[in-house]
Amino acid sequence: MLLTRTFLTELHAWQWLGILVARLAIGVLFFLSGRAKLFVRERREQMRETLIAAGVPFPDLNALFVSTVECVAGLLLILGAITPLACAMLSGVMIVAIATNAIRNIKATSIPGWLSEFLYLPEVLLLVILLWLFFSGPGWLSVDYWVLRTVATSIAE
């Protein structure tokens, strides 16, 4: 029992690494996707057509807005800066993507089958990771951590 507890304590001490890898992977994914939609004509047009097909109003404006959110919030996640806001903004994008586009591709006829396909959607997985980062925080290797630490030190003095 003591060995198990020691192992779990040591493992817990390394949770920052999982948070860092998840934050960087999700941040880079959204940053590159948003950047491409902003600066590559084909990707921008593809985004616009997706929004039109989903019935989203003002597709040109929304394509620009969503692409900007992805790019900026992705960069914020990479840096670990204003992480809760970045996660909230990207979660909103994922919820809209699920509701307007991804969920329509599910063809299952049973509830377990539907749930299986729903949970297999990349947008759902991204949303789950974003929610985890929102509640767990960005970890110690982040701008948020160092800013809060500096503020706390200043207040304590």
Q: What is the mean pLDDT of residues 134-149?
A: 94
Residue-wise pLDDT for 9-49, tens only, equals 888 889 999 999 999 999 999 999 999 999 999 999 999 99
Domain count of the fold of the chain:
1
Q: What is the pLDDT at residue 154?
A: 84
Q: What is the pLDDT at residue 144?
A: 95
Q: What is the pLDDT at residue 135?
A: 97
Domain that holds residue 116: 16-156
- Sorting pLDDT into bands at 50, 70 and 90, what band is 152? confident
Residue-wise pLDDT for 71-99, tens only, equals 999 999 999 999 999 999 999 999 999 99
Which phi and psi (to 5°) does residue 46 adopt?
Answer: -60, -40
Residue 134 lies in a domain: yes
- Sorting pLDDT into bands at 50, 70 and 90, what band is 1? confident
The Cβ of residue 154 has, within 10 Å, a number of other Cβ atoms equal to: 8
CA distance 10 to 91: 32
Query: Considering the entire predicted model, what is its pTM?
Result: 0.91
Q: Say if residues 103 and 79 touch (Cβ distance below 8 Å).
A: no
Residue 146 lies in a domain: yes
Residue 2 lies in a domain: no
Residue 43 lies in a domain: yes
Map tokens 């109003």 to a residue: 57
Residue 9 lies in a domain: no
Residue 44 lies in a domain: yes
Report whether pLDDT(153) > 90.
Answer: no
Residue 34 lies in a domain: yes
Residue 149 lies in a domain: yes
Which phi and psi (to 5°) does residue 140 adopt?
Answer: -75, -20
Residues 6+ apart with CB under 8 A from 58: none
Residue-wise pLDDT for 113-135, tens only, equals 999 999 999 999 999 999 999 99
Q: Say if residues 57 and 84 touch (Cβ distance below 8 Å).
A: no
